[in-house]
Amino acid sequence: MRRKPGVGAIHKQKYEQERYRDKGTELQENQFEQMTKQLETFRINLEEFASKHKNEIKKNAQFRRQFTEMCASIGVDPLASGKGFWSVLGIGDFYYELAVQIVEVCLATNYKNGGLISLDELRDRLVRARGRRQEHQEITNEDLLASAKKLKILGNGFSVVPISKGKYLVQSIPGELSMDHTAVLQQTSNAGNAFISKSLLQKELKWEGERAQKALDHMVKEGLAWIDNQNEEEPLYWFPSLFTACIASKT
């Protein structure tokens, strides 16, 4: 027959629980101390690394990519703050500087493309503006993407729209593009054209006429697309941001 636990047993259990808890905090504190030590060592190592390779990071695009990839795989964002200890590497500075230049290029071309620019054109203009030194020429599209993504933090206004494999548009206007609007851009770019039409959208995306028209009207309303009424079958909608002569134009 089982006896109910007596008062003594309950006391004993409570006492043991408390001891476990104490041991737990002790262990946690130990771990914390260890972590602090590890972080300190890490910081020292990183500073050493930085003093050796800082210039390499600024100059060498591939090195930069490998470093940021490594950071991503261990789950740290070297760009999250200018105060993080990664900033000893100057990686932060490098990307913040790029971000400012991205904003400048977008503002300077806004009058003709309505605030939509292909990543390639953005890169061309930015590299031209930075000057002839080798390190200025080696800015990669990946650098620009990393930088442009940071601009999102400033609120909606900047976004990166993937349009086809390896092709991106950078949008620098507050109007948000929905899935449908993005699909319109993707379809236009995939066809290798700077224009699209209602019937093309209906055919390629299997959309209802009304849905296609609504998406096109939105693009016009945002100043991203121009209407061409002189095509025989139906109006065409043209994007200056995808139009070669506009992209190449210096003014």
Residue closer to other proteins (CB basis): 158 or 238: 238
Tell me which of 43, 128, 203, 221 binds other proteins, using CB under 8 A: 221
CB atoms within 10 A of CB 228: 12
- Strand ranges across the sheet with 236-238: 195-196, 236-238, 226-228
* Interacting residues of 91 by C-beta distance below 8 A, sequence separation 6+: 57, 64, 67, 68, 78, 79
Tell me which of 118, 177, 240, 241 binds other proteins, using CB under 8 A: 240
Judged by CB under 8 A, the number of residues near other proteins is 22
Residue pair 144/119 in contact (Cβ under 8 Å)? The answer is yes
Dihedral sign computed on CA atoms, order 246, 183, 155, 75: negative
Site string for other proteins, 139-178 (x = CB under 8 A): ----------------------------------------
Q: Is 227 in the site for other proteins (CB under 8 A)?
A: yes
Q: Is 223 in the site for other proteins (CB under 8 A)?
A: yes
Residue pair 57/64 in contact (Cβ under 8 Å)? The answer is yes
Q: How many residues does the chain have?
A: 251
**DSSP 8-state class, residue 131:** -
> Minimal distance in Å, beta carbon 79 to other proteins?
34
Stretches 1-9, 61-69, 74-82, 111-119: which one binds other proteins (CB under 8 A)? 111-119
Q: In the complex, which residues of this chain contact other proteins (CB under 8 A)?
A: 111-112, 114, 195, 220-221, 223, 226-231, 236, 238, 240, 243, 245-246, 248-249, 251
